[in-house]
């Protein structure tokens, strides 16, 4: 069995995440892709949204794909969230025979040397570096040096459609009442509107129940 692991803050989850996960599933013939919202990420410089909201948005975004599932493994673990702990916990759940593929952006791969136990990470799973068409492994090879040379069969490049969507941009759009329609599933847009995420003044701006996807905050 081959299982993809899509880790991230998902604050919020958007179509870029979903397209990457589906591209990896098809290209690598994965049996399943597990989305793992982080609990307390150590490398984020901003205040991450409460885990329960990020988890529920991820569930809403993945409901219609039978090959996608969402795990609470990072959320339910106390302390900072490290990828190596995620992989250890999932290994216990899935057993020793399952082959793991950790799906992340090519830029994140360049930071792998700063992650906890990089050598163990590469022995625990194959890393899939998602990148826009036309990019190559040359930059990854240059930055990782010997770590890549010794593990080049454990790092693969996956080219996905050129989507420039980011969670940061979505949050900023909501905060400034600009449209987010077609950047993420409508179920997630509704959730953001209903809960008032990313807008400090939401609860003073009018009845939540009157909000529709045509409103600027949810477009």
Q: What is the pLDDT of residues 114-135, one digit of tens each?
A: 777 888 899 999 999 998 766 7
In a domain, 216, yes or no: no
* Full domain range(s) for residue 205: 167-210
Asked whether residue 207 carries a pLDDT value surpassing 50, the answer given is no
Q: What pTM value is reported for the model? A: 0.86
CATH code (residue 31): 3.40.50.620
Considering only CA atoms, give the Rg of the chain.
18
Same domain, 13 and 98: yes
Same domain, 176 and 70: no
């Amino acid at each position: 069995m081959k299982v993809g692991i899509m880790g991230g803050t998902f604050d919020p989850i958007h179509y870029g995440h979903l397209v990457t996960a589906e591209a990896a599933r098809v290209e690598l013939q994965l049996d399943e892709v597990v989305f793992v919202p982080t609990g307390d990420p150590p490398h984020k410089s901003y205040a991450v949204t409460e885990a329960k909201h990020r988890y529920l948005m991820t569930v809403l975004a993945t409901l219609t794909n039978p090959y996608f599932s969402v795990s609470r493994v990072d959320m339910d673990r106390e302390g900072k969230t490290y990828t190596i702990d995620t992989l250890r916990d999932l290994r216990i759940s899935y057993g020793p025979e399952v082959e793991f593929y950790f799906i992340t952006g090519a830029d994140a791969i360049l930071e792998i040397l700063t992650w906890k136990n990089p050598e163990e990470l590469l022995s625990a799973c194959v890393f899939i570096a998602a990148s826009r068409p036309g990019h190559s492994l040359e930059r990854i090879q240059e930055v990782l040096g010997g770590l890549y040379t010794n593990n080049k069969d454990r790092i693969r490049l996956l080219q996905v459609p050129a989507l420039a969507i980011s969670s940061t941009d979505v949050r900023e759009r909501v905060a400034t009442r600009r449209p987010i329609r077609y950047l993420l599933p409508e179920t997630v847009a509704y959730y953001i509107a209903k809960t008032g995420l990313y807008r400090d003044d939401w609860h003073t701006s009018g009845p939540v129940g009157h909000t529709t996807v045509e409103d600027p905050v949810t477009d």
